[in-house]
Amino acid sequence: MKILISTGIYPPDIGGPAQYARNLYETWKKQGHDVKVAAYRWERAFPTFLRHFLFLLKIIRKGWNADLIIVLDTWSAAVPTMYACKMMGKKYIIRTGGDFLWETYVERTGDLVLFKDFYNESIDKLSKKEKVIYKLGGDALRYSSGIIFSTEWQRGIFEKAYKLDSKKSRIVENFCGEREEQISPEARVFVAGTRELKWKNLDALKQAFKIAQMEIRLRGWDDIEFDTTKAVYDNFQERMRRSYAVILTSLGDISPNMIFDAIRVGTPFILTKETGISERVKDCAIFVDPKNEKDIIDKIVWISDPKNRQIQAEKIKRFTWVHTWDDITSEIISIYGKL
C-alpha cells in the first residue's frame, strides 16, 4: 500500500505524536509498504492559517497517489488534510491523540478544568480563535472516513461534544512493549512529565511533593527527589527505568505513553485518575485525584516506604498485556479495509 502519515510533529520533535508517527512509519516500511510522512518543518516560520495552507499543499504533493492517509491530530494536521482530501477526492482516517482545544484553553485562561468536564463547563468561554478550532476541528472529525481513539473514555467525550457518528469510530489502544528486566532504583527519584503545561498540573504536584518530603524527613526515611528535567526519548526511558517511581497528576491524560513506558521498564507509578487507561492498568496503578493535594501527598508518602514500592513493583511484574507496533499497524490497516 501507499500510505501517507499526516502529523503536526515528527522526530527530532519531542512528544507522543512524534514517536507514534515514527513508529508507524518504521513498522509499515518494515512490512513492505510505501510510506511517506508529511510533518510541519519550515512551515512553522509562517503565521497561523498561512502555515496551514502551506501544509495543505504538502499533503497534496505527498498524498496524491496514496491509498491510505492517516492523520495524527485533530487540528494542525487534520484541518489542512481535510481540505486537501476534499480537493483530491480521497478518504482519510484521523487518529486522535490528546485534545488540542482543551489544552489551548487551559493554557490561555489558567482555568484548571478537568478534561472530562471541559465541553460541559467551558465551551461557552472560548476565544474567537478557539471557536475556529472547535468548528474546523469538528469538521475534520466529521468529514473523515474513520476515527481511531486510543480509549473508550475519549471516544465517549468526543462523540457527544462533536456529534460524531459512532459507527465510524474504532478503538486502537496505545503501544505497550515487551517487558525489560526490572532493576533496583539508583536513588529515590520520582520522575514526572517534563512539559511545563498548565494541564499537566506540575505546579500543584511540586507543592504537594515539597510537603511529602517534609513528612518523609519527619519519619526519618531517606529523602526523595523530584525530576522534571528534559531529555530525548531514549535517555528519558533510561532515566525512568532507574528511578524510584514515575508520577503523573495531570488534569486529563487520555492514554499516557509515559505510563506504558514505566510498565515496560518495570517502574512503579502514581497516575491521575483522570485518564482513559484506568481500566487497563488498574491492577498495578496507584491513582490520585489531581485536584486533591492531600491525596497526592499521601500517595507519595505511601510509596516512599520501600516495602510499598516493592508491592507495586511485583504488581507490574504480573501485568502481562502487550500491544506491539505490529499489532497497532495491522489494526489500522484492518480499519482502512472496512471503510
CATH 3.30.420.40 holds for 189-317: no
Q: Quick one: which H or E segment has residue 148? A: strand 146-149
Q: Is the dihedral of CA 200, 204, 210, 211 positive or negative?
A: negative
The β-bridge partners of 39 are: 7
| The two domains 2-175+323-337 and 189-317 share their CATH topology (first three levels equal) | yes
CATH 3.40.50.2000 holds for 2-175+323-337: yes
User: In the chain, what are the domain boundaries?
Assistant: 2-175+323-337, 189-317
Determine the Cα angle at 95 with ends 91 and 48, to 5°.
85
Q: Residue-wise pLDDT tens for the chain (339 aa)?
A: 999 999 999 898 877 788 899 999 999 999 999 999 999 999 999 998 899 999 999 999 999 999 999 999 999 999 999 999 999 999 999 999 889 999 999 999 999 999 999 999 999 999 999 999 999 999 999 999 999 999 999 999 999 999 999 999 999 999 999 999 889 898 899 999 767 889 999 999 999 999 999 999 999 999 999 988 766 666 778 888 999 999 999 999 999 999 999 999 999 999 999 999 999 999 999 999 999 999 999 999 999 999 999 999 999 999 999 999 999 999 999 999 988
141 touches 162 (CB < 8 A) = yes
Q: Is the dihedral of CA 109, 114, 118, 124 positive or negative?
A: negative
CB environment 27-45: b (16+ within 10 A), e (fewer): bbeeeebebbbbbbeebee
